Structure 1
Amino acid sequence: MSVLVGLIVMLGMLVIVPLGLGLVGDPSLGRLRRLWPLFAVPGAVSLWLPRGGVATALALCYALGTLLLASHAPRRLARTRSVRPVEAALLTALVTPSVAALALVAERSGHELFGFGLGILALTVPHFHFAGFAAALVAGLVCRAEDGAAGTFAALSVPLGTLLVLVGYFVAEWTELAGAVVLTAGMWTVALLTWRTAPAPGQDRLTRVLLAVSAGVLVVTMVLALSWALGEATGLPHPTLTWMAATHGLGNALGFALCALLARRRLQHLTHPEGRTA
């Protein structure tokens, strides 16, 4: 795993997931959120150790945390009995870190998984932290705030696109391309709705900047995602995986996920000054 990919994954583990969990508004996640460093810190340490038993054991600690998080999805579904689009997005966010953790355990152990090499597994880890967890969560939060056709489309298309990309790993590159198209459409809708939110009255300058940056970055990073998926499916020239990690990956991590979640946290405190740290 390269240094850049390792740093991006650390951001996802240590910052993005716990920050995002605080925005769900689900009190049942409170205890896991407080305990999250007990799982995330060993996982982060595993990134910098040589592949082997110790790195695998630490990665398994993180995997345990993600499985506990994923276990909240069926419980939330049973409790809410809701299949609304916003719930589909939030349930996706709860489950996707476990996919990243599975890839992490395999990569740290030095073993291929389902025929995928270590390089692909290493990139799968950040992908499902950001294109999985962060993207689905933000889509759900946008839908919660913008309960119209566009918000509904975003909340449904982001999980669907993520699922199609995952299926495409196993089926065909054209399926992965279809997933990239659906995911891009959903994320561009998120960007549009976020851009509309940025100049709303009552927001401070920093919040407006964070919202605007997260929206603008999405436009660029998803073009890169489309170009890569199209090239993989058709053989047309397209960016290398190393270039994608340095542009699409870094942009989504810092420009989209971090800025979007920080902005949503600030908006949450403006709306609920007492805070909603589920």
Structure 2
Amino acid sequence: MWPLVDLIVALGMLVVVPLGLGLLDEAEFRTTRRLWPCFAAPGAVCLWLPRSTLATTLAGLYAVGAALLVGHAAARLRRSGRAALAPAGVAALTALVSPAVAASALVAERAGHRLFGFSPEILALTVPHFHFAGFAAALVAGLLCRTADRPAARFAAYSVPSGTLLVLAGYFVDDWAELLGALVLTAGMTAVAALTWRDVRVAGRDRVTRALLGVAAVVLPATMALALSWALGQATGLPHPSLAWMAATHGLGNAAGFALCSLLAWRRLHAPARARTGPAPQPVRPETTRSATTPGTTR
């Protein structure tokens, strides 16, 4: 199971996070995206090393990159004020802060330290959760809310971040609290899938984009049903999938089927807007270049 989990985490570090940063704001994150491989590469390498000082140091380098994203989140909050607490803003802030939660768990796990009393195994599973539910899913929910500002989109933009945090809180409380978080997160992810299929997919300008969005929309409800069945089994004692099975289905499906496909599709949807800006001396924020039909701003 663990080699697969490590591959999923490496995908999040090396591909998903930089893709997502480009979708949040091309200009704001340009420098951070250029520097990101300097943080993500050591983070990915540390996954394959035994727990040691070297592995912990490499994980710490990744934590530095994640801290830069927290800095961006703080700057956005300071710059936008209450506007940053609108649904799309909350989703974006959640996406920016989530890698730092993942990095903290990674550093502790690589050091063999029981952070807050949690075993290294639980910490290791927290890392992909906050890359894909915390970062990717929250980011996509925010993109949907910016594209179609209506109740379903606003619900997704609030419930995905809150569900992710409730699952984390469940670690500290009990399995029933974690089940509540899984319910909220599943509801938000279902809204993301429905909006992706019904609204964004039809806006795809080419077959590849529509196919990527279709895969993401179909995979997401299936992977979240698995997460819900696992949380329900943990809380009630009913039969539920093993962690190995969850990694191979829920984890891999969310990483490759939902997060990667979604972000690649959104990147393609943003490409015409970027092309229309031309080689301007000062970068133009994506919000000013999108048309009404061009979409903009996920354990």
Shorter-chain TM-score range: over 0.9
Q: What are the Cα deviations for residues 29-55 of structure 1, in whole angstroms up to 9, with x where unaligned?
A: 221111000000011110111110000
Judged with a 3 Å threshold, the aligned counterparts in structure 2 of structure 1 residues 263 and 158 are, in CA distance, closer, same or farther, namely same
* Contact 2:201/2:213 (<8 A) preserved: no
Deviation at 1:200, TM superposition (A): 2.2
User: In structure 2, what is the equivalent of residue 218 of structure 1?
Assistant: 220
User: In structure 2, what is the equivalent of residue 242 of structure 1?
Assistant: 244
User: In structure 1, what is the equivalent of residue 10 of structure 2?
Assistant: 10
User: 164-173 vs 86-95, which deviates more?
Assistant: 164-173
User: In structure 2, what is the equivalent of residue 160 of structure 1?
Assistant: 162
User: 260-269 vs 18-27, which deviates more?
Assistant: 18-27
User: 180-189 vs 23-32, which deviates more?
Assistant: 23-32
Deviation at 1:86, TM superposition (A): 0.2
TM-score by length of 2: 0.90
Q: Give the Cα separation in 2 of the matches to 1:16 and 1:199.
A: 20
Deviation at 1:233, TM superposition (A): 0.8
* Contact 1:22/1:277 (<8 A) preserved: no
The 5 A counterparts of 1:72-87 are 72-81=72-81, 82=83, 83-87=85-89
Paired residue type of 2:211: V
2:189 aligned residue (173, 177, 187): 187
User: In structure 1, what is the equivalent of residue 19 of structure 2?
Assistant: 19
1:53 aligns with 2:36: no
Paired residue type of 1:152: R
Q: Give the Cα separation in 1 of the matches to 2:99 and 2:221.
A: 24
Give the unaligned 5+ runs of structure 1.
Answer: none
Q: Give the Cα separation in 2 of the matches to 1:208 and 1:202.
A: 5
Give runs of ≥4 in structure 1 deviating > 4 Å. Answer: 274-278
Deviation at 1:241, TM superposition (A): 1.0
Deviation at 1:199, TM superposition (A): 4.7
Percent sequence identity is 65
1:35 aligns with 2:28: no
* Contact 1:198/1:209 (<8 A) preserved: no
The 5 A counterparts of 1:130-149 are 130-149=132-151
* Contact 2:182/2:231 (<8 A) preserved: yes
Q: What are the Cα deviations for residues 225-274 of structure 1, in whole angstroms up to 9, with x where unaligned?
A: 10011111111111111111110000000000000000000000133324
Deviation at 1:113, TM superposition (A): 1.3
* Root mean square deviation, CA, Å: 1.5
TM-score by length of 1: 0.96
Deviation at 1:27, TM superposition (A): 2.5
* Contact 1:211/1:259 (<8 A) preserved: yes
* Contact 1:23/1:277 (<8 A) preserved: no
- SS of equivalent to 1:51: coil
User: 190-199 vs 12-21, which deviates more?
Assistant: 190-199
2:122 aligned residue (99, 120, 123): 120
* Contact 2:14/2:37 (<8 A) preserved: yes
Deviation at 1:112, TM superposition (A): 1.5
Q: What are the Cα deviations for residues 97-143 of structure 1, in whole angstroms up to 9, with x where unaligned?
A: 01110111011111211111111111111111001100100000011
* Contact 1:92/1:136 (<8 A) preserved: yes
1:88 aligns with 2:82: no
* Contact 1:30/1:277 (<8 A) preserved: no
Judged with a 3 Å threshold, the aligned counterparts in structure 2 of structure 1 residues 202 and 99 are, in CA distance, closer, same or farther, namely closer
User: In structure 1, what is the equivalent of residue 273 of structure 2?
Assistant: 271
Judged with a 3 Å threshold, the aligned counterparts in structure 2 of structure 1 residues 132 and 201 are, in CA distance, closer, same or farther, namely closer
User: In structure 2, what is the equivalent of residue 105 of structure 1?
Assistant: 107
Paired residue type of 1:148: R
Q: Give the Cα separation in 2 of the matches to 1:220 and 1:112.
A: 32
Paired residue type of 1:149: P
